[in-house]
Structure 1
């Protein structure tokens, strides 16, 4: 997908970077010059291009290499920030050791990402009504824009709690007078957007041409997550059941657990049967150092690879020498070491070096363990255009079926629902991992918590899970996490200058 079409002014409160990161494979839009929003949305093609602009924000990668998954991994107990030193990508470092402040941390980039997507969604929703185009297609575009607006708001309300609520475009003259909504108001709008969108989202999309676009299954999955976050366990279980179907079988939307866990991480296995909503990357965008945020390659692939990697034998893994960010903690290593998912999750460079297979440089907070799921490899074919480090093509799952199985099991257990079904969901995930049915466990919260850690390690879920379960203070306390404060990020300092936005009470403010 090429760069977006929309261009509008957002002011200091919510900056909009028009050259943001890639999200989907399905769009090839090549805008020439700058198209002003006031002159746009004249026909169906331009409405389509406007939709591209909204999707484009899903895979946002900041110029400082800050991504949602990278930041959340750094803050969890499964990873350290790592890198080349204590000041390497400061946003990760301060989140990892909980020394972040309103002026320093990943919050600027994550706030900018969320509201950039919301502003773009609001533009198309405001403009599309008068666009001469096929009416059924118009309904679909509206549904997709509402899904995406809900998607961005869900991230923002979880990460910041006290945020503005925009359901229409805002002029620059109004920006400085924007007030924050209550979390309850934001969640109500998210639920409204998703329920209104559901009927007009497609049940499925052709992967070859539309892989990455929102579907009814993605809508139910996101709404289920939204309900669970609010501890609405019955509605959460109902929405997630619509996605999951019979545990271990194919759902009404065609979702099915892949037979082999390792196949999830085959870079060529994009938009597979387990994928519900997926962030797409490519090695054809010719991303270069002149604009890191413009690349459509997956920067996580170079970031998590072992620094100074050198193969010593013919059978050594073909890792690309990376930057050693997000090294895996000994705690996660010990938890997963004897699980079948271990070899697809963790790259054990310590073992490779001790056995004379490879060597590597010891980066900051090195443990010897790296994130195998996303470590870049020479076999991730690079076209040769742009800089190698910025052009890896591995997609990232935002929502996949095993995640939804475990979330539904959680909703059932916490809500006093059908424990037999909860057990079937939990053990379907374990059966796939072990390739047998000999490792079944009862559906308890402790077992679900452990299974989510093993199944989803490194995929950006752990920190959000710990906060949702109210376990972050206990688990992350040794890292500096303070209960009643670090469950949310601070409102970025610049967002409060010359505006009516207030800092959250958790961070010393009044909101």
Structure 2
């Protein structure tokens, strides 16, 4: 952002107009808010940088309280929303993945929710969601079929709010694996030494627990969430080698599917084509419903939001209670990276994770990496 302030002084940049600078500034603020939100959720107190510093000053940087990080996140998002040049939506063909006002409102609502600012969260998320089951001002709408949300041939769909783009056409290799353009997670979660018609082989990471599988059995979202390799192996359609803590159940939403072949020159493990959906409309529906219940807000709207998600998969209506919303989040958003944070922010982690050795008031955040401790105060 400091560089953007000085762009107008560089005559070598032709065609760069003030509206471009304003848009880039807004996008940068949204991205900074997004990154700091991850940092504060994962580590708690972290250093806060809002201006460039000299290399000899790095060691003297100290952590600041999480409340100060959250204040900066809120300010960045509110500033970005107020900038007219930040668009409501973008063309998915040419600018899919860029920051928009819809992303900023959704992220701000989520940030408020994590701080238990229920009324503020509900207000921001209502802007994103519009009429439950309809199309919002940003063009967001639930997809008719749950199973199509994560397919590589359905990128930047109407349900997607914040999505990280990937491609299989790049030449990324192991020598620059930190810069890959492909989606490496598909390789990580695929079945090891797989033989069969459906998947590519993977590293067998993040097997689903039998406790979760039991919870989602009978739910219409089961087959689009759970890759049941045990059943395929039992009927002779597929085979694989069990990995660490194997249960026979794998992540289906981001599985390495054979129907989407690799087209790039780089090694296949680093070049899967699937995008990663960070925030989607079903998530913001359920977050708003939760905020409304917690704040004593519009109970009818909370029910409409919750049941719009259920109706999409053929389930009947239920009352919008916290228990029902928590359960819906677990099943609807399974394996998308929300469960841990949901348990921590709602104070349920110590109970739900009691059998894992979770220690309350300690394990809610991760320890700061040793290298970072050595590099700063």
Selected match of 2:49 from 126, 141, 166: 166
Which residue pairs with 2:343 in the alignment?
466
* Distance in 1 of aligned mates of 2:373 and 2:355: 31
Question: Compared with structure 1, are the counterparts of its residues 384 and 177 closer, same or farther at alpha carbon in structure 2 (3 Å cutoff)?
Answer: closer
SS at match of 2:353: helix
Which residue pairs with 1:222 in the alignment?
107
Q: Deviations over 1:209-260 (max 9, x none)?
A: 1000011100000000011111100010000000000000001111000000
* Distance in 2 of aligned mates of 1:383 and 1:230: 44
Question: Compared with structure 1, are the counterparts of its residues 459 and 124 closer, same or farther at alpha carbon in structure 2 (3 Å cutoff)?
Answer: farther
Question: Compared with structure 1, are the counterparts of its residues 498 and 149 closer, same or farther at alpha carbon in structure 2 (3 Å cutoff)?
Answer: closer
* Distance in 1 of aligned mates of 2:51 and 2:112: 24
Q: After the TM superposition, list the runs of 4 or more consecutive aligned residues in structure 1 that deviate by more than 3 angstroms.
A: 122-132
5 Å-filtered alignment, 1:349-364, equals 349-364=229-244
* Distance in 2 of aligned mates of 1:136 and 1:328: 47
Selected match of 2:216 from 331, 336, 350: 336
The alignment of Structure 1 onto Structure 2 pairs a total of residues equal to 371
Which residue pairs with 1:152 in the alignment?
35
* Distance in 1 of aligned mates of 2:141 and 2:7: 35
5 Å-filtered alignment, 1:94-133, equals 122=1, 124-125=3-4, 127-128=6-7, 130-131=9-10, 133=16
RMSD, aligned CA: 1.3
SS at match of 2:303: helix
SS at match of 1:375: coil
Which residue pairs with 2:58 in the alignment?
175
Selected match of 1:257 from 138, 142, 153: 142
Selected match of 2:297 from 417, 428, 433: 417
Which residue pairs with 2:373 in the alignment?
496
Which residue pairs with 1:288 in the alignment?
173
- Conserved? CA contact 2:170–2:264, under 8 Å: no
- Conserved? CA contact 1:306–1:361, under 8 Å: yes
SS at match of 1:358: coil
Selected match of 1:382 from 258, 262, 286: 262
SS at match of 1:399: strand
Question: Compared with structure 1, are the counterparts of its residues 124 and 419 closer, same or farther at alpha carbon in structure 2 (3 Å cutoff)?
Answer: farther
SS at match of 1:356: coil
- Conserved? CA contact 1:299–1:392, under 8 Å: yes
How far did residue 124 of structure 1 move?
A: 3.8
- Unmatched segments (≥5 aa) in structure 1: 1-121, 312-316, 501-511
How far did residue 199 of structure 1 move?
A: 3.0
Which residue pairs with 2:117 in the alignment?
232
SS at match of 1:334: helix
How far did residue 395 of structure 1 move?
A: 0.3
* Distance in 2 of aligned mates of 1:339 and 1:125: 50
Question: Compared with structure 1, are the counterparts of its residues 359 and 182 closer, same or farther at alpha carbon in structure 2 (3 Å cutoff)?
Answer: same
SS at match of 2:313: helix
SS at match of 1:310: coil
- Conserved? CA contact 2:303–2:320, under 8 Å: yes
Which residue pairs with 2:161 in the alignment?
276
How far did residue 291 of structure 1 move?
A: 2.3
SS at match of 1:268: helix
* Distance in 2 of aligned mates of 1:428 and 1:129: 48
Q: Given the alignment of the two structures, is residue 198 of structure 1 paired with residue 81 of structure 2, yes or no?
A: yes
Q: Given the alignment of the two structures, is residue 482 of structure 1 paired with residue 347 of structure 2, yes or no?
A: no
- Conserved? CA contact 2:167–2:182, under 8 Å: yes
